[in-house]
Structure 1
């Protein structure tokens, strides 16, 4: 049995697989059959207690059974979901630790344990998805603080929270009258797609360009996965060759009587030759893989939306097309060749970014690059930006942002609380609307840039940012924090906030580890050129 980590995937070979889950609280299990855009084709693709079957997918008791060969041919994946049982009093801490299991060929093939950090009441645990002609399993762990209703809405299921006639339903969950019931769902057209993976976020509705590359974010993460596995194979081969060489050299000199003989010298030379051949084969294979991935990246760069493309791509001079993610920089490993792989995350940011630095001014080009990509990611929606810049580090480009600024950048600590309170209140109102059945998808993309954190911020400000981590998705919020890493702070609120973010190191020799092989990578963050003409080209506010 494999203990999966978030984002890790494995091949499936069984004719039938079965999903179940357990947690500290009572759970309901369900499933969604989704298309390439990670949305259902119709309401029949939501499998739950009141609609327990679809082609190739069935719910029986607390277990979902999938027969991959029978799943509809145009489906991309089956998302395996758990949510709080509405017939049981809600727990303040949400679902708590959830352990998801997948049985294949009669035995438990994989387990995935995840602890939602923000009291989420619904969770996509695993994803059974197509890769070419094969099926694979991926650990997802994407939580939804708004509960099952928000999760379903994000994947194209229209729900009504209050059934017209609860007494006509059966089962404890139905009697509670709080399980979202599917209503008619429009057929999905081309849309902005998200990757259900280590960095998955809610699906969003916007028009996609026909030039989009098979869902850009997922495409680039698949290339990253291929690069990670090729690199891990190279490292493994090198380690094996080194151990074998050490063993053979030791054997060649183990007998004192023959240690200094021509035969021992020949054995040592032969051992070294075998080592060199093994390493050469591994390096040739890795170089072949890398060259193929470089070609794929070059082809994709001509068609990706600007938010995911390189700065030199011609797409920056074309009409902006929407994106399901943004590019943060490039990952590389000097000991594994010259391949550089884009590092990308979903947008709106499903997890705040934290740029680790002692000086906001030093990372101003990084922040400008992030803003350029965030501004171009959702051209179908208005983007509204709030900037906290106590040291004036971003004055070189904030003037260009005037059309999208919610208000002038905050340059004095006295203005921080009111601005954060405004955002927190908007998120709370959105949550109330969602809970009452009046919620809707965010009409704007909100961006919060909180620089110089935590200096000049009150403890209540950190709490407000923490609440935005939980509810910010309801207002389409992307949050970027700039400051030194506070994960070990004596202030528990600040430490928890820091630990909840995705940290972007700005100092060399601070590795990031890929989710498939656990191999270390160095990150070169994107930086926007500081020339006025370049800033104007990339910081598009229309």
Structure 2
């Protein structure tokens, strides 16, 4: 049996799982069958004592049983919930400590101890969620001081009347979920439930390759957070127990005090060993999952060694930027990916454009591969000639010669602005048609050599560029603190890719630090030609 920490996840191997919970107060147990946005899709997706059955999910004898193979195909997860018993007196201090248990084929597989701190009267204890053709379990522990009514509303269920009237709960259309996955800068929304085809979970998840990789990233982030939390707890407990052992001056140098100190160190080592073992198990599972996915992902999201680069072109909804890792947390390396077109520009932080050339080459190769069915047109501003080596392979898609003279920058940018403004007029007039091209702007050496009006033009393209299918990349030093407010605002609005070792990125779910190693385009001409293949 596994003792889970908040955020930790583990694979499920049984065909049937059963959830139960115990506390010092009377509990009601329920479940929510949800889509990727963590919202229910139908009335029967809320399983409670008033509606005890859904497809594959049953509530009986104070426990929720899930037959995994029978859960509706368009569901992403089942949230397992406890709340204060609606017919018992309301607990004045909330639920208090709750122990959630999950059984696989009638054997206890995992236990999660939760101690609400703010008087919560409803909790999402566990999440059983899909991963490829299998299922996993995540410890959640999210509490709701507003009770079950607040929890249900946050997950798309409209509750009529008092909290106890759960029988009248129905799906609520429209509004976004307050409990949806974090909405930070680097969070990617998953495929819409109506896009998922029944009976084809593997093909669907690979077709939405970006979402699959972000799900793996989330699993890695939560496992990392559980390890960090366990290490911190072990250190705090050790410090407390060592302080207690020497608190009495009359006994601090006795054999009993020394034995207490040794026992404290042993307990700390045991706690850390368990946490590291759990994290190692999680990482090994994710490494295998990534290896399996890499053989099926489209080229723009796959590793350079993937057979996808040798096969026929395949469209994708994202591109891979590099790999995230943390040396102190083991060998796991997670692909870091973003959606395309790049509605939020990429800013490569560097003092030298030539040093960033292999990074830019890799990004261009992946942008070309992401949308093979549309013509790609690349506008390149390269005042220092840093990307001269890329011009040959990219000639078929270049929208004119690269701009190498600063006096030509404004005209090139204005042409893109004019095209975006015409598309905006068409949109407002109701005659807009989706762009048939994927436009790419590479603005290197920014802001040196650019006029003040050029920064405004790039800012305008950030707002309207999606109307012409534009992806923008900027190469230059970070200008977020620039004295020019236009340049500073532009820099702050971009997604920055650090090129200096030791600059951490923080995941949007737990805030754990990661190091980003950006992909580099190989320098061998034959390999460059293979990755920068142009089919237009």
TM-score range, shorter chain: 0.5 to 0.7
What is the count of residue pairs matched by the alignment? Answer: 394
2:432 is aligned with 1:439 = yes
Query: 2:176: which partner in 1?
Result: 126
| Structure-2 residue corresponding to 1:415 | 408
Equivalent residue number for residue 321 of structure 1: 314
CA distance 1:523–1:111, shift in 2 (3 Å): farther
Question: Pick from 289, 302, 307: which aligns with 1:309?
Answer: 302
Looking at structure 2, the residues matched to 453 and 527 of structure 1 have their Cα atoms a distance apart, in angstroms, of 21
Q: Which runs of 5+ in 1 are unaligned?
A: 1-12, 18-32, 39-53, 58-67, 79-100, 113-123, 129-135, 143-196
Please tell me whether residue 475 in structure 1 is matched to residue 518 in structure 2.
Answer: no
Q: Give 2:477's match in structure 1, choosing from 481, 484, 491.
A: 484
Closer, same or farther: CA 237–390 of 1 in aligned 2, 3 Å: same
**2 CA distance for matches of 1:276 and 1:342?**
32
Q: Who is 2:237 aligned against? A: 244
- Displacement of 1:106 in angstroms is 2.0
| Residue among 150, 156, 164 paired with 1:107 | 150
- Other-structure match for 1:172: none
Task: Tell me if the contact between 2:347 and 2:497 (Cα under 8 Å) persists in the aligned partners.
Answer: yes
Q: Which of 268, 274, 279 pairs up with 1:275? A: 268
Supply the distance in 1 between the matched residues of 2:148 and 2:203 (Cα, whole angstroms). 41
Residue 252 to residue 210, structure 1, CA distance change in 2 (3 Å): closer
* Unpaired stretches in structure 2, ≥5 consecutive residues: 1-28, 45-52, 56-70, 78-143, 156-173, 196-201
Q: CA 1:299 to 1:271, structure 2 compared with 1: closer, same or farther past 3 Å?
A: same
Task: State whether residues 182 and 508 of structure 2, in contact with CA within 8 Å, keep that contact through their aligned partners in structure 1.
Answer: no
- 1:504 lines up with 2:497 in the alignment: yes
Query: Secondary structure of the residue that 2:309 maps to in structure 1?
Result: helix
Query: How has the CA–CA distance of structure 1 residues 16 and 536 changed in structure 2, closer, same or farther, with 3 Å as cutoff?
Result: closer
For 1:446 and 1:102, the matched residues in 2 are separated by 49
Counterpart Cα distance in 2 of 1:443 and 1:213:
24
Rounded to whole Å, the distance in 1 between the matches of 2:409 and 2:212 is 39
Does structure 1 residue 198 correspond to structure 2 residue 187? yes
Aligned to 2:247, the other structure's residue is in SS state coil
Q: Is the aligned partner of 1:137 residue 2:180? A: yes
Q: 1:320 aligns to what SS in structure 2?
A: coil
1:220 aligns with one of 204, 213, 216: 213
Give the SS at the match of 2:282. Answer: helix
Q: Is residue 15–residue 105 contact of structure 1 (8 Å, CA) maintained in 2?
A: no
For 2:532 and 2:203, the matched residues in 1 are separated by 24
Q: What is the deviation of 1:14?
A: 7.0
One of 337, 352, 355 as aligned partner of 1:344? 337
Deviation at 1:415, TM superposition (A): 0.9
Cα contact 2:154–2:177 (8 A) shared by 1: no
Q: Is the 8 Å Cα contact of residues 182 and 509 (structure 2) preserved in structure 1?
A: no
- 1:455 maps to which of 448, 462, 469: 448
1:394 maps to 387
TM-aligned CA distance change 1:202 to 1:214, over 3 Å: closer
Q: Secondary structure at the match of 2:206?
A: coil
Are the counterparts in 2 of residues 328 and 342 from structure 1 also a CA contact under 8 Å? Answer: yes
Cα 1:250/1:16, change in 2 over 3 Å? closer
- C-alpha deviation, 1:127, in angstroms: 5.4
Give the alignment's TM-score, normalised by structure 1.
0.67
Aligned match of 1:154:
none
In structure 2, C-alpha distance between the alignment counterparts of 1:125 and 1:398, rounded to whole Å: 48
Q: CA 1:103–1:315 in 2, change beyond 3 Å: closer, same or farther?
A: farther
Residue number in structure 1 paired with 2:259: 266
1:442–1:141 CA distance, 2 compared to 1 (3 A) = farther
Q: Does the CA-based 8 Å contact 1:427-1:468 persist in structure 2?
A: yes
Instruction: Find the counterpart in structure 1 of residue 165 from structure 2.
Output: none
Partner of 1:84: none
Cα 1:246–1:360 shift into 2, 3 Å: same
For 1:414 and 1:391, the matched residues in 2 are separated by 14
Distance 2:389 2:479 in 1: 27
Per-residue deviation, 1:254: 1.2
Answer yes or no: is 1:353 the counterpart of 2:403. no
Aligned residue number for residue 385 of structure 1: 378
Q: CA deviation at 1:324?
A: 0.7
- Give deviations 1:75-96, integer Å, cap 9, x for gaps: 4689xxxxxxxxxxxxxxxxxx
Higher alpha-carbon Rg:
2
Corresponding position of 2:421: 428
Q: 3-state SS of the aligned residue for 2:516?
A: strand
Q: Which residue pairs with 2:120 in the alignment?
A: none
